[in-house]
Chain A
Amino acid sequence: MASSSSNLISLKTSDGTVFKVERALAKTMKTVQAIIEEADANIYMIPIHNVFSHHMDMIIDYYKLSVAGKSKEFSVEKLDNDELKDFLLAVHYLNMEDLFEVLTQAVADRLEKKSVGYVRKYFGIENDFTPEEYAAIRKKNDWAFKGDDIEPEEDEEKQEE
């Protein structure tokens, strides 16, 4: 039916590496599953774009841990922010529910209690508000900006001068 070896599926990452994975693992990737199901003929190799071999390594690690009931031991701490973002995108592309939850939580943990400037840099967002717009939003969501830990914005201070 599928590829030559009955229980293994071949996946080719964007950097050209071929991984032979268990069918059960491939099933957790809904994108891959959809490709297999839609194929008329046998598929020998499924290309997965946006996914690199180091991502696959981590995915396989997670799978092994979760099969052993130790999914809580999986950690992405060693990844820097950009690597985590890339990984999240890869997992999102593959449509893997559980791992996606884990990674979004990890991203949220890194954003928690960080400054607006940090978050902008983390996601690569450019601030395109005019100072008036910016002040208006701050005023509308007034309570969210309150608290001992909140410092006034530089732009606001400039405006008052």
Chain B
Amino acid sequence: MQSSSSSSGSCGGGNDQVASGSKSQDDMISNLPDFVIGHILSFLSTKEAVLTSVLSTRWKYMWTFLTKLDFRDYTNNNFNSFSNFVTRVLFHLNTATIQEFILEIPHYYDPYGYYTNQWISAVLSMRLKKIKVFFFLRGNEPKIPSCPQLVSKNNILSCPLFECHESLEELEFMISSLASCIIKLPSSSFVSFSSLTVLSLAGIITFTSSNEIFQELTLNFPLLREYKAVSCGFSGVKSITIEAPLLELVFILGMEFEQVITRFSASRITNFSYYCDTVSHTIFLDHQNIPSSKIFLVLFDSEDHSVEEISIFIRKLLRFFINAEYLELDLANCWPGFAWVANYLADIPVFRMLGYLKLKRVTSNTLLDFLLKTPCLKTLVLQMVDYDEESQNFAIVPDCFLSTLKVVKFDKYFGGEREFSFSKFVMENTKVLERISFSFHESCSEVEKAKEKLSLVKISFSTVIMEFST
């Protein structure tokens, strides 16, 4: 709601947006109980909800029935004014349940989390379902002075989060990685948040308890479906095991403290994304149980690592998916130098159960590396990249060509030389192929020529259907 010019009577005010149709009638609000209004207001940001206090005397404290709190300040206003507002709202709240607490402020507002800690602590006991704290950085921050009382770097969020471990469904702490966030846990190396479905972290997280420092920490999230860690690192522990039997999405971007071992005990991961610039981090997945997954691996700027190291890393990761029946893989390496190294993935494990494989942005040599290790493959979908320096080697015909491969689909086909010779290799050597289709890249300029060229290839069986699409 905005506070703009308004008339004091109930009708009139031509410069406001007019409700269509009827004139203003009896105050319909008298028909709705307070908590219903509070419910409606809960869908607005807390700022807007509090603005209703000026509607009329009856509305003065209607907003205190809010069940969700949403404090966002993107306008770079005075922190004192904001802080007074939040404190006042918390003080006047008239409900026993606060379902959500959302706080989005510039980092410099509360660099050490002093106020944030207090605010969250005030609502922790109200059966919180969702906490989202987002400290963002603008380019032109005033410099945060270092605080001598603090032991290590800036510490934020040392409130006893564990108090809402039964009710909390979504937890998001997005702190800039300059800052460190402490999550206090009870003294046990096994911690459970029984309702948590979404966990999203950024920045450096330290788990502590009052008594011990843990070497190995087990986090039990029986209902967790999404795990996101951006520029995140766990300090103070040697290894963390995340038990999440329903976990579907894992998203890791950047890492601090690579030597910490992270173990996921989760057999239903369907989406695994890993964007990192290092391969020395150790991640374990509950291997041999994952039936189908999309894997997205982006390794940036890995000049520090040799081809050997990277190939070992990829192999290790792929090992967790060896019993998968369905895989989508995107090995988008941002430095093409890697792709020229032939057969760097020659030693990947065999995928005995794999029936469907989708490979994005892959060279034909890597493609063959995979085909040689997927003996039961039925469907292959690929998007090839063509490097001039690459020399192709089609000496060995993969097993799947001979007995199982039925469908091959080329995405974003460009008609390049290597793409063509690979497609020729497929068509001439597969014995049970039923369908081969080509979906052309939007910038491919010679679609008709390419189609012609492909149609001329002699296929082993004439019953194979060849399809083209754009």
A interface residue numbers (CB < 8 A to B): 80-82, 85, 88-89, 92, 104-105, 107-109, 111-129, 133-134, 137-138, 140-151, 153-155
* In contact, A144 and B56 (Cβ under 8 angstroms): no
Main secondary structure of the interface of B (DSSP, over half): loop
Q: CB of B50 within 8 A of chain A?
A: yes
- Known A-B contacts: A116-B3, A142-B84. Give 19 more (CB < 8 A): A81-B21, A82-B22, A82-B25, A111-B48, A112-B1, A115-B4, A115-B5, A116-B6, A121-B11, A121-B16, A124-B28, A125-B27, A126-B27, A138-B3, A141-B51, A142-B85, A150-B2, A154-B7, A155-B8
Q: A81-B20, A113-B1, A125-B10 are in contact. Are A143 and B47 (CB under 8 A)?
A: yes
Q: A89-B32, A104-B39 are in contact. Are A137 and B53 (CB under 8 A)?
A: yes
Q: CB of B60 within 8 A of chain A?
A: yes
Q: A116-B1, A121-B24, A150-B3 are in contact. Are A109 and B51 (CB under 8 A)?
A: no
Q: A116-B3, A121-B18 are in contact. Are A146 and B44 (CB under 8 A)?
A: no
- Cα–Cα, bound, A137→B16 (Å): 22
> Which of B74-82, B203-211, B296-304 is found at the contact surface with chain A?
B74-82
> Which B residues touch A155, using CB under 8 A?
8
B interface residue numbers (CB < 8 A to A): 1-11, 13, 16-22, 24-29, 31-32, 36, 39-44, 47-48, 50-60, 75, 77, 81-82, 84-85, 88
- Ordered by A's residue number, 18 sampled pairs between the chains whose C-beta atoms are within 8 Å are A81-B19, A81-B20, A82-B19, A104-B36, A104-B40, A108-B40, A118-B17, A125-B29, A125-B55, A126-B56, A127-B8, A128-B57, A137-B60, A142-B81, A143-B84, A144-B50, A144-B51, A145-B51
User: Looking across the interface, which residue of chain A has its beta carbon closest to that of B21?
Assistant: A80
* In contact, B81 and A105 (Cβ under 8 angstroms): no
* In contact, B4 and A129 (Cβ under 8 angstroms): no
> Which B residues touch A133, using CB under 8 A?
57
> Which A residues touch B60, using CB under 8 A?
137
* In contact, A146 and B36 (Cβ under 8 angstroms): no
* In contact, A122 and B19 (Cβ under 8 angstroms): yes
* In contact, A151 and B5 (Cβ under 8 angstroms): yes
Most buried by B among A123, A129, A145: A123
Most buried by A among B6, B22, B27, B42: B6
Report B21 CB to chain A, min CB distance, Å: 5
- Cα–Cα, bound, A27→B164 (Å): 33
- Cα–Cα, bound, A120→B77 (Å): 28
* In contact, A121 and B57 (Cβ under 8 angstroms): no
8 shortest interchain CB distances as A-B pairs: A108-B43, A117-B6, A143-B85, A117-B16, A154-B5, A115-B4, A143-B81, A151-B4
- Cα–Cα, bound, A88→B32 (Å): 9
Q: A151-B3, A154-B5 are in contact. Are A129 and B56 (CB under 8 A)?
A: yes
- Cα–Cα, bound, A103→B57 (Å): 26
* In contact, A124 and B85 (Cβ under 8 angstroms): no
- Cα–Cα, bound, A88→B40 (Å): 11
* In contact, A80 and B17 (Cβ under 8 angstroms): no
User: Looking across the interface, which residue of chain B has its beta carbon closest to that of A117?
Assistant: B6
Report B83 CB to chain A, min CB distance, Å: 8
